[in-house]
Amino acid sequence: MLLGVLPQYIHAQGSDDFEDLRRKTESFARMPWGVLRNDLATFTLSGIDEAVGKAPLRKIPFSAIGEDYITIGGKPLTATVQLAPFDKTKHRLDYDGKYLIRIDHRAFYGDYGSIPKTSIQKITVVDHGDTLQIPPAAYADLHDLNFTYMQGGVRQSRDALYLSADGHRIYLYLFCDNNSGSYEVTWIFQDGHYLRRVLDYGFM
Burial 19-38 (b: 16+ CB within 10 A, else e): bbebeeebebeebeeeebbb
Q: How many CB atoms lie within 10 A of CB 171?
A: 24
Residue 141 burial class via C-beta count within 10 angstroms: exposed 0-12, middle 13-18, buried 19 and up: buried
pLDDT in tens, the chain (204 residues): 333 445 687 877 655 889 999 999 999 999 999 999 999 999 999 999 999 999 999 999 999 999 999 999 999 999 999 999 999 999 999 999 999 999 999 999 999 999 999 999 999 999 999 999 999 999 999 999 999 988 888 888 999 999 999 999 999 999 998 876 799 999 999 999 999 999 999 876
Q: How far apart are CA 65 and CA 46, in angstroms?
A: 25
Mapping DSSP to helix (H, G, I), strand (E, B) and coil, where does residue 179 land? coil
Q: Do residues 68 and 54 touch, judged by C-beta distance below 8 A?
A: no
